[in-house]
Structure 1
Amino acid sequence: MSEASSDDKTEDPTAKKLSNAREDGQVARSSELPAAVIVIGSLTILLMSGGWLVSRMAQIFANGFVFDRTTIDKPLLLPAHFGDQLLSSFITVMPIMVFTLIAAIVASGVTGGYLFSLGAVAPKGSKLSLINGLKRIFGTHALVELGKAILKFTLVSSVLWWSLSNNMDSLIQMGQMGLEPALTAAAVMIMKSTLWVALSLAVIAMIDVPYQKYAFMKQMRMTKQEVKDEYKQMEGSPEVKAQIRRRQREMANSRMMARIKDADVVITNPEHFAVALEYDPTGDGAPVMVAKGSDHMAKLIREEAKAHGVYLFEAAPLARAIYFTTEVEQQVPEDLYHAVAQVIAYVFSLEAASPMNPPQAKPRVKVPPSMQFNPDGSKLEKAGAKA
């Protein structure tokens, strides 16, 4: 099957496709930004060093052509003499080299990040294809890069020509200056020219960085069918399924915990189980369980209930019965109506209590034998238990 036309690729790339592309070494990368940063960084160091760097280089250059009697008599010492001056020059410009190296590394990671991928250098059949090779040579990306190179050459050349034209008188006067003044004047002229070149490169980089990101995202676009196929593939992955289930549990637990503040009572085991019940006395429905949990979740439910002033009622058999027979946001079973009604009536009497209206006595709740459970969820077929 032939590859889908670019006109059919209307969908933004998925995170998985971008991740796979990154593993293959494909990222949005601008080569103009590091170039601009290197030039600007070097110029910054030159300006910060003031005249010291120029004077130092002038001194090294002058010393290179000053020979003592021993060197003159022994020409074999000349390589060592020039080597010393070269080493001094290298040490002098070392800060600029280090700074520009760091600047280049930082600038390279701004757009595409730092990446080492064997996929980028691994042999691929598509790279050996003549048709694909012609597409790379005559494609849109190649034409854009060619246009960018022509623009950069034209812009930088024009800036240099303009700078030299404006400093022609200074160039002529340098021939009449001493070595150090001439080098100083040349350095000033070079820094001015470099400043204009740096500004030109900065303009190109400001255009190139967003374009490279746009071009990369356009290249990564997918067809609707590719998006569907990828979703199906991911949906079938055990890891993805587990992740989806975990997120669903987290969302369900979050919603459940948010409902505890609406509960009228939380019935506890007291430690291993907890169920939160809400009852609307104005309606005709049974109490609804808004949250339930065991062990750690039960602890969280108790803590949330305390934080919102929801009453905790200890009734182990009833807590287990509701926990194992009722789902969240469902009404309690009919067999538990009487036991639950006793608890809710007691809680309401506490809320309405006053010196003239004392609360009811705490009920001893009975659970029908058919609704009694062991902590593991198995049925306990015995006579009715008391809380």
Structure 2
Amino acid sequence: MADSGQEKTERATPKRLDDARKKGQVPRSIELSMAAVCIAASAAIYALGRGTAGQFAELMRGSLSLTAYEAVGDDVIWPALTDAGGQAILLILPILGATFLAALAAPLAIGGWNFSSQALMPKFSKLNPLTGLGRIFSARGSVELGKGIAKVVVIGLIATVLLKGLTSQMLGLSSEPLNSAIGHSAALAGYSLLVLSCGLVAIAAVDVPFQLWQHSKELRMTREEVREEYKESEGSPETRGRIREAQKALARGRMMQEIPTADVIVTNPTHFAVAL
């Protein structure tokens, strides 16, 4: 059994990494996933915002143009609402699609996709309040707190600079025609979200190496654990010796069976004989 007092100085073996993956233990960066989703959504809004906002305005105008008689009649209002809802879903579908693809692609950058049934099993140890407090005040908890503070500071600074630069454009929206103001507002919203998302990218760029290092550290092994794993996979020296002796005996048996079929036997009285 591995000595629990030993320091874990050895890198994880492929077997240990594979076992950890089966348990759902893979490196993950929430910051990277959040940054990818925000960038995809904001880029889609920025690219499609003007057209989508204008189409939404036309859709609302058509939905609200029903007469009083049509608005109270079930045979008119429900089909109108159903049609408007379907068109609204189609309008936002590209934005939702970009967000969904980003959420799927982000794990590929760190850890890859991993589906583990063991990770879905409930762990009652997490219900222990003392264990929860230990996680909060652990080194990882301190890092998460630091990341939270960093996000507030970075996003706050970017938002301040952004508002100062866009103030004149936002104030000018009131003097634009309605359709133009709606499209311009959507473009400004997409641009603002895209710039703010860049702050999340900066935080993710720091978080990803940390998560990789933390995962590697958690899976480190003691030298005794490495030796025990080698014995389990390769067998003990005594077992390997017995296997080699059995293989030699089997080979000698096959050679003795083939001697009667040989045409000539060349012998060395001291060391060996060769049957041809």
Report the TM-score when normalising by structure 1.
Answer: 0.57
Q: Deviations over 1:205-262 (max 9, x none)?
A: 222111111110011111222222222233338xx97xx99xxxxxxxxxxxxxxxxx
Tell me if the contact between 2:38 and 2:197 (Cα under 8 Å) persists in the aligned partners.
yes
Residue in structure 1 matched with residue 120 of structure 2 by the alignment: 121
Q: How far is the alpha carbon of 1:30 from its aligned partner?
A: 1.0
Residue in structure 2 matched with residue 58 of structure 1 by the alignment: 57
Q: How far is the alpha carbon of 1:126 from its aligned partner?
A: 4.2
Q: How far is the alpha carbon of 1:77 from its aligned partner?
A: 5.1
Alignment partner of 1:317 is 2:263: yes
| Percent sequence identity over aligned pairs | 30
Higher helix share: 2
Q: How far is the alpha carbon of 1:74 from its aligned partner?
A: 4.5
Alignment of 1:242-257 (within 5 A): none
For 2:4 and 2:148, how far apart are their aligned partners in 1? 31
For 1:28 and 1:194, how far apart are their aligned partners in 2? 27
Q: How far is the alpha carbon of 1:196 from its aligned partner?
A: 0.7
Which secondary structure does the structure 2 equivalent of 1:175 belong to?
helix
Residue in structure 2 matched with residue 157 of structure 1 by the alignment: 156
Q: RCO (CA 8 Å, sep 6+): is it higher in 1 or 2?
A: 2
Deviates more, 1:45-54 or 1:145-154: 45-54
Tell me if the contact between 1:58 and 1:179 (Cα under 8 Å) persists in the aligned partners.
no
For 1:372 and 1:210, how far apart are their aligned partners in 2? 62
In the alignment, residue 41 of structure 1 is paired with which amino acid? A
Tell me if the contact between 2:46 and 2:187 (Cα under 8 Å) persists in the aligned partners.
no
Residue in structure 1 matched with residue 195 of structure 2 by the alignment: 196
Over aligned residue pairs, what C-alpha RMSD do you find?
Answer: 3.7
For 2:74 and 2:157, how far apart are their aligned partners in 1? 45
Residue in structure 1 matched with residue 36 of structure 2 by the alignment: 37
Residue in structure 1 matched with residue 10 of structure 2 by the alignment: 11
* 1:141–1:79 distance in 2 versus 1, CA, 3 Å: farther
In the alignment, residue 334 of structure 1 is paired with which amino acid? N
Residue in structure 2 matched with residue 169 of structure 1 by the alignment: 168
Higher strand share: 1
In the alignment, residue 44 of structure 1 is paired with which amino acid? A
User: What is the count of residue pairs matched by the alignment?
Assistant: 258
For 2:111 and 2:176, how far apart are their aligned partners in 1? 49
Alignment of 1:287-366 (within 5 A): 317-318=263-264, 321=265, 334=268
Q: How far is the alpha carbon of 1:336 from its aligned partner?
A: 11
For 1:154 and 1:79, how far apart are their aligned partners in 2? 48
For 2:38 and 2:211, how far apart are their aligned partners in 1? 21
Q: How far is the alpha carbon of 1:90 from its aligned partner?
A: 0.9
Q: How far is the alpha carbon of 1:120 from its aligned partner?
A: 1.5
* 1:23–1:72 distance in 2 versus 1, CA, 3 Å: closer
Unaligned 5+ residue runs, structure 2? 245-254
Q: How far is the alpha carbon of 1:73 from its aligned partner?
A: 6.2
Q: Deviations over 1:96-136 (max 9, x none)?
A: 21232122112123311211212223244643555433322
Q: How far is the alpha carbon of 1:157 from its aligned partner?
A: 3.2
Residue in structure 1 matched with residue 178 of structure 2 by the alignment: 179
For 1:192 and 1:12, how far apart are their aligned partners in 2? 44
Alignment partner of 1:142 is 2:141: yes
Alignment partner of 1:217 is 2:210: no
In the alignment, residue 182 of structure 2 is paired with which amino acid? L
For 1:62 and 1:87, how far apart are their aligned partners in 2? 16
- Higher Cα radius of gyration: 1
Deviates more, 1:201-210 or 1:125-134: 125-134
* 1:44–1:170 distance in 2 versus 1, CA, 3 Å: closer
For 1:154 and 1:86, how far apart are their aligned partners in 2? 39
Tell me if the contact between 2:151 and 2:203 (Cα under 8 Å) persists in the aligned partners.
yes
Which secondary structure does the structure 1 equivalent of 2:263 belong to?
helix
For 1:101 and 1:183, how far apart are their aligned partners in 2? 26
* 1:158–1:63 distance in 2 versus 1, CA, 3 Å: farther
